[in-house]
Each structure stands twice: as structure tokens, then as C-alpha cells.
Amino acid sequence: MGPERAGQLLSAGCNDMGGSLMNESITRAAGAGHGQELPPRAMQQLILGAGRRPRQRTTLYGSPSSSQTQASLSDNSLQPLSPLVTAGPALPRAPAP
């Protein structure tokens, strides 16, 4: 999807970006040019740029503590949990029936 399309979706009413942009490793493996991860601060800027108000949530749709929110937006670099997935050579596709 990528940040540009995500911004368009926000403008169209989308309201939950975490599952869409946090870790699109399958998309990368399929050959997309974007998707591995969008850091929280960049996601916040994307949401603000679409004229929406960002709000973090917990897994159960509650509000995280202010310390958790601040920690997630800190500039501390985190190492990825898994290596970046990049597409290999394209495999031939079977002809359509």
C-alpha cells in the first residue's frame, strides 16, 4: 500500500493504520517496493498530514499509558525483529484458463 495510498485511505475514512502499515513483510516478499515498516512517528505525521488526529490504542482498543505512548514515539532506533524481506526474481505465472 505505502504511505501515499495510506494517506488517501485516511482521507476516505480509514481509521486503523497499525495493522496496515506496521509490518507488511508478505507484501515485500511478493515484490512490492514498500511496506516493511513505518515507524510510529512517521505514521503519526502521515495521519496529521491527512487532517486526522492520531490516537494510539492497545490490542483491546483501550488507551495506552502516557509513558508507553512517549516510549513508542521516542527517537531511539530499534533493531528489526526479523531481517528485511526483499523480492527475488519473478517466477513465471501459469497462463489464465
Tens-digit pLDDT profile for residues 22-76? 555 666 677 776 666 677 888 889 889 989 998 888 888 899 999 988 888 887 6
Q: Is residue 71 part of a domain?
A: no
Q: Is residue 95 part of a domain?
A: no
Q: Cα angle vertex 75, ends 11, 81, to 5°?
A: 85
Q: How would you class 6 by CB atoms within 10 Å of its CB: exposed for 0-12, middle for 13-18, buried for 19 or more?
A: buried
Q: Distance between CA atoms of 7 and 52, rounded to whole angstroms?
A: 10
Q: Distance between CA atoms of 91 and 26, rounded to whole angstroms?
A: 16
CB neighbour burial string for 63-93, b if at least 16 within 10 angstroms, e if fewer: eeeeeeeeeeeeeeeeeeeeeebeeeeeeee
Looking at residue 21, its pLDDT comes to 46
Q: How many residues would you count in the chain?
A: 97
Confirm if 44 and 54 have CB atoms less than 8 A apart: yes
Q: Is residue 21 part of a domain?
A: yes
Q: Quote the number of domains for the chain.
A: 1
Residue range(s) defining the domain that contains residue 6: 2-55
